Amino acid sequence: MYKLFFNLVFKRMDPEKAHYLAFRWIRLAARTPVLRTFVAAALAPRYKELRTEALGLRMHGPFGLAAGFDKNAIAIDGMAMLGFDHIEIGTVTGEPQPGNPKKRLFRLVQDRALINRMGFNNEGSLAVAARLASRSPVFRTTVGVNIGKTKVVPEAEAVGDYVKSTERLAAFADYLVVNVSSPNTPGLRNLQATEALRPLLTAVREAADRSVRSRRVPLLVKIAPDLADEDIDAVADLAVELGLDGVIATNTTISREGLVTKGDVVDETGGLSGAPLKERSLEVLRRLYARVGDRITLVGVGGIENAEDAWQRILAGATLVQGYSAFIYEGPFYARAIHKGLAARLRTSPYATLADAIGADVRKKADAA
């Protein structure tokens, strides 16, 4: 049914307009008491065997919504209603900004992918913090806050910009993510180099600890799939050295290799997400797990279309898995299908619990070697 609707309606619309239309419907449903109860019952069934502990938090399951969909924390209950076990809002910047000029979001339907150069369009950390502070949750869920650099802030002043957002948002975050891997903010990816990343992560950690004294806010970093293998190893080592809580692998890619889609849309600048990112994101995840094991939490994202994709990320070392682009193509039953499929795979696997399956394929390979 959704695929027919997508082809007849959304496919004919500008992708960004379609996004905001769907967003309004989701928010409206979540605000309607009887309707949201029925929607949640249909789309967010709970499986006891999928209950997950990660980052010191208990979640209904391992599958969440990646950053980028809800930039301003306006649809957390709506996305929880649709079955996502955690919702990562943002990316939020120190100051409000409109993002890049439109048109800035493109569908590659044949590849089940998106190209975006949104440019961190958001209301800024002060406004988002105020919204989170006044929120009255309808559904229990985990909320991650993804922070990035304001575009007009020079690279040399990036640390102060991240610290500003941290001080404003840490109190409302179940976990914080430092985003240094979007290709759509000039110079941002330079911060992935360990000599720049070390002082940045150290300053954010200290700011979070100053701002929230009643608990330790978990801190993660999100990396790009385009990093060389030795740079992935360097980030992994740095994360362990600094006592980071996790790494999210991966953000969008600037590569256009292997696309089926032809035409000018392929040449649009921006980050590519969706199915074409699947293999590289999985490779990065495996490399990270081989390097860090269970010392930090790994989050797998990029090309998660179905339960098998999510299961492969778990076997590769991910404790948590996130999706976004496939949600556009799969529609409201996306999270439900992944939960159902994960539960089925776990039941027929040799693992007693989901935690036992984390990194199993990487460990087997290491043992065989």
Distance linking the first and last C-alpha atoms of the chain:
48
Residue with tokens 């909320």: 143
Give the type of residue at 94: G
Residue 179's nearest CA partner among 115, 223, 144, 241 is 223
* Residue from 125, 181, 182, 325 carrying the catalytic annotation: 182
DSSP state of 97: B
Q: For tokens 């600094």, what's the residue?
A: 242
How many CB atoms neighbour CB 250 within 10 A? 28
Q: What does 174-185 look like in DSSP terms, one character per residue?
A: SEEEEE---TTS
How far is it, in rounded angstroms, from Cα 206 to Cα 134? 25
Looking at the DSSP assignment, which residues form a beta bridge with residue 179? Answer: 222
Q: Provide the CA 363 distance to its chain's centre, in angstroms.
A: 25
Asked whether the beta carbons of 92 and 146 are under 8 A apart, the reply is yes
- Cα separation, 32 vs 30, in Å, equals 6
**CB-count exposure of residue 175 (10 Å: 0-12, 13-18, 19+):** buried
Q: Measured between alpha carbons, how far is 197 from 178 in angstroms, rounded to an integer?
A: 10
Question: Does residue 182 have an active-site annotation?
Answer: yes
| Inter-residue contact 48 to 307 (CB < 8 Å) | no
Q: Of all helices (H) and strands (E), which one includes residue 274?
A: strand 271-274
**Residues in a beta bridge with 59:** 52
d(CA 142, CA 250): 20
Structure tokens at 50: 């999928």
User: Which active-site residues does the annotation give?
Assistant: 182
